[in-house]
């Protein structure tokens, strides 16, 4: 049920399903720590580019992952955590669309996933952890107190990403983003190591057309039942 003495709530699902926003709200509401595992892989993609490590150099990427100097700084209420890589704020780079595409490719490498596994599990400490990713409930925290698989239609996820990018002044077409979403889903579902799928016993939530508050309330109600056992 827990990782050590710390209860874990694991949220998995495809990109754009709302995991980041939902997980942050849950962590702040419960007073738990927060792990954005996707940001770790994105940080590795940024670090690889910075150190000129090729995306198919599995050995070098694994070494870089094991020794990567990365930290997360919780921001003000409602803002996403800042990503600090080698002492530099790289949040904007980490959240860029091209970084996400490269991170998805890197995440398919078993050596890289193994190198980051221990680092991810170290986030589980009292009073608890909300972990957001694609294999939190299946691989990283298989004994999590609550496992949630959060999804939404590709069109809905592409629209959300389009709105985010437009709000940041970044030009992108909805058609391009739908194609990127579908390609990433295909790659994540079919990778040989830790493919994207609901964990055994996971609560499956489709957030299409649902408000953030509605989804949060549903998960909090389930968490209350599990954590009080």
Which phi and psi angles does 173 have, rounded to 5°?
-100, 150
pTM beyond 0.85: the answer is no
- Where are any strands of DSSP class E within 24-128? 33-36, 70-73, 82-85, 88-89
Rounded to 5°, angle at Cα 13 from 19 and 69: 65
Average pLDDT over residues 198-224: 95
Q: Is 53 helix (H, G, I), strand (E, B) or coil?
A: coil
For the chain, what percent of residues have pLDDT higher than 90?
A: 61
For residue 87, is pLDDT > 50? yes
Polymer length of the chain: 229
CA distance 53 to 61: 7
Find the domain containing 114 and state its range. Answer: 2-227
For residue 1, is pLDDT > 60? no
**Total number of domains constituting the chain:** 1
CA distance 19 to 131: 9
pLDDT in tens, 9-34: 999 999 889 898 899 999 999 999 99
CATH of the domain at 154: 3.40.50.300
Query: How does residue 229 score in pLDDT terms, banded at 50, 70 and 90?
Result: low
């Amino acid at each position: 049920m827990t990782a050590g003495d710390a209860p874990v709530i694991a949220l998995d699902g495809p990109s754009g399903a709302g995991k980041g926003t939902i997980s942050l709200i849950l962590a702040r509401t419960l007073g738990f720590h927060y792990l954005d595992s996707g940001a770790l892989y994105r940080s590795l993609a940024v670090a690889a580019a910075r150190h000129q490590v090729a995306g198919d150099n599995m050995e070098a990427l694994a070494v870089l992952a094991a020794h990567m100097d990365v930290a997360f700084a919780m921001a003000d209420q409602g803002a996403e955590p800042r990503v600090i890589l080698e002492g530099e704020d790289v949040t904007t780079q980490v959240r860029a669309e091209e970084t996400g595409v490269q991170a998805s490719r890197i995440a398919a490498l078993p050596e890289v996933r193994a190198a980051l596994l221990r680092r991810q599990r170290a986030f589980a400490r009292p009073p608890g952890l909300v972990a957001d990713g694609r294999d939190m409930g299946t691989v990283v925290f298989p004994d999590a107190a609550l496992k949630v698989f959060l999804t939404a239609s590709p069109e809905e996820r592409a629209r959300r990403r389009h709105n985010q990018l437009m709000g940041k002044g970044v030009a992108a077409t909805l058609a391009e983003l739908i194609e990127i979403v579908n390609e990433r889903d295909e790659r994540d579902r079919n990778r040989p190591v830790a493919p994207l799928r609901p964990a055994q016993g996971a609560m499956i939530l489709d957030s299409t057309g649902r408000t953030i508050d509605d989804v949060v309330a549903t998960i909090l109600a389930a968490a209350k039942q599990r954590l009080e056992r």
